[in-house]
Amino acid sequence: MTEASEKSASDGARAVVADAQDPARRPDVLFRVRRPAGTEPSVWWSVGGFIVVAAGILLSLNWLPG
Residues 34/22, Cβ–Cβ less than 8 Å: yes
pTM score of the predicted model: 0.48
CA distances from 42 to 1, 37, 45, 47 (A): 50, 12, 6, 9
Give SS3 for 8: helix
User: Kindly report the CA angle at 55 between 53 and 57, in degrees rounded to 5?
Assistant: 70
Q: What is d(CA 60, CA 11) in angstroms, rounded to the nearest whole number?
A: 60
Q: What is the pLDDT of residues 15-37, one digit of tens each?
A: 766 666 666 666 677 777 778 88
Higher pLDDT among residues 62 and 65, named by residue:
62
